Amino acid sequence: MKLIGSYTSPFVRKISVILLEKGIVFEFVNDAPYSPDSHVSRHNPLGKVPTLIDDQQHAWFDSSVIAQYLELRGDTPALLPDDAWLALHIHQVERLADGVSDCASIIVREKLRAPEQQSTEVLTRHREKILRGLDKLETLAAEGRLLNSGTLNLADIATGCMIGYINFRHVVPNWCVDRPALVKLAENLFQRESFARTAPPAA
């Protein structure tokens, strides 16, 4: 099995963590999709990472689809419950965390533009989305049912990777203010070997 992606992507990290938690052996291929010599589009027509090449050489893309594929393989531990409705709710929390990561990556790319070309509207709009998303995730983490339940699930992993990304990119430096449940969740996740091994490289 081969995972194609970049070391800094929160979506690639999500799949790496899942693979490590399940003990699935894989080869990591570092290929940044924005690099001019990237080969990502050979496997994913959208030119995005992560892309997972399974043992039958089938290419899976979109981190949520890849995560579902890895669950369907039956490797333990399961990261979704057997109850289909509860699993769907956890998937929605996963997508919420991924959505925050999407907004953060848009801000990162916008800030790479020359200052006079940056859009204040884009930066403000996506920062507001991030803050609303974090507020909702804080509520869910405090409730401890779909997120932060004490049993690692897909929503926990997506949220941890998102927090790691906004920390790494300094997108919302004060995100932890008044969000103690998320802070505690992140602290617990970052102590796991799977998160320690997939931390983005120091700048």
How confident is the model over 104-114, as pLDDT tens digits?
A: 999 999 999 99
User: What is the number of alpha carbons within 13 Å of residue 184 lying toward its C-beta?
Assistant: 14
Q: Are strands 2-5 and 51-53 parallel, antiparallel or unpaired?
A: antiparallel
Give me the pLDDT at residue 203, please: 58
What is the per-residue pLDDT across 36-54, written as a single tens digit (0 to 9) for each?
888 898 989 999 999 999 9
Q: What share of the chain is helix, strand, coil (3-state, %, to 5)?
A: 55, 5, 35
69 close to 60: Cβ distance less than 8 angstroms: yes
Residue ranges in the chain modelled with pLDDT below 70: 203
CA 138 to chain centre: 17
